[in-house]
Amino acid sequence: MGASQSAFTEQELDDYQTLTYLTKKEILHVHHRFASLNETAVRLDKNAKLPFNTIMELPELKVNPFKDQIMKVFSSSGDGMTFEDFLDMMSVFSDNAPKPVKVEYAFRIYDFDGDDMISSADLREVISRLTGEGNGLSEEQMQQLIDNILEEADLDDDDALSFAEFEHVISKAPDFVSSFRIRL
C-alpha cells in the first residue's frame, strides 16, 4: 500500500482513518468508488467536487428514496460532493459506525425543512417516500398514520419529534443499524 500506488500519503490515510469508522483499505476502496464516478475529474484532483446527479449514479443511492436528502446532509457545499464529503457519507453508512451516529444522521435526513424537529410535514414526506407514488393511502389514512406516530413518539405533545424523541423511537427498532448502511 505504498504511496506510489495510492492517491494518498500514509499520513493522509492515517488522518482519514482517525476521522472515520473505516480502515485504510476501506478508505482506498471508497476512493476507488468515488473516482469511478468521474475518473478524469478525480485524476486531476483527488478531492474534486462531483455534482449530485453523478453521485446518485451509485447503485445504492439510485434506488434510495432519500438520495436527495442524503446528498444535502453530507455535502459541505450544498452543490456537490467532494471525496471527503463522500467519505463521511460512506463512513456513517458503514457497518462500523456506532448507532448514535447513525441515529443523528437519520434524524437530519428525515428533517426535510432543517428546523431540528421532525414535524407532521416531515413525517408525511418520509411516509410518502417510503411507500412510493400511488401508495394507496387516502389523505385520511395518511393523517391517521402521522397521528399514530406522534401519539406514540411525541412525548412533550408539541406535534413534532425532537432529536431525543426520535432517538427514543429508534432505540426500539432493533433492525435500524443493519438497515442504515451501504455495503463497501
Residues above pLDDT 70, as percent of the chain? 96
Q: What's the 3-state SS for 43-87?
A: HHCCCCCECHHHHCCCHHHHCCCCHHHHHHHHCCCCCCECHHHHH
CA nearest neighbour of 79 among 49, 105, 57: 49
Q: What is the pLDDT of residue 1?
A: 41
* β-pair partners for 161: 118
Least confident of 22-36, 89-103, 135-149: 135-149
Distance (Å, whole) CA 181 – CA 172? 18
Which amino acid appears at position 157 of this protein? D
What global pTM score does this model have? 0.90
Mean predicted confidence (pLDDT) in 75-83: 96
Mean predicted confidence (pLDDT) in 23-49: 95
pLDDT of residue 149 exceeding 70, the answer is: yes
Q: What is the pLDDT of residue 6?
A: 75
Mean predicted confidence (pLDDT) in 69-74: 97
SS3 118: strand
Q: For strand 160-161 and strand 118-119, is the pairing parallel, antiparallel, or unpaired?
A: antiparallel
Q: What is the pLDDT of residue 137?
A: 83
pLDDT of residue 18 exceeding 60, the answer is: yes
Mean predicted confidence (pLDDT) in 54-73: 94
pLDDT of residue 143 exceeding 90, the answer is: yes
Mean predicted confidence (pLDDT) in 141-151: 94
The answer to whether the beta carbons of residues 67 and 56 sit under 8 Å apart is yes
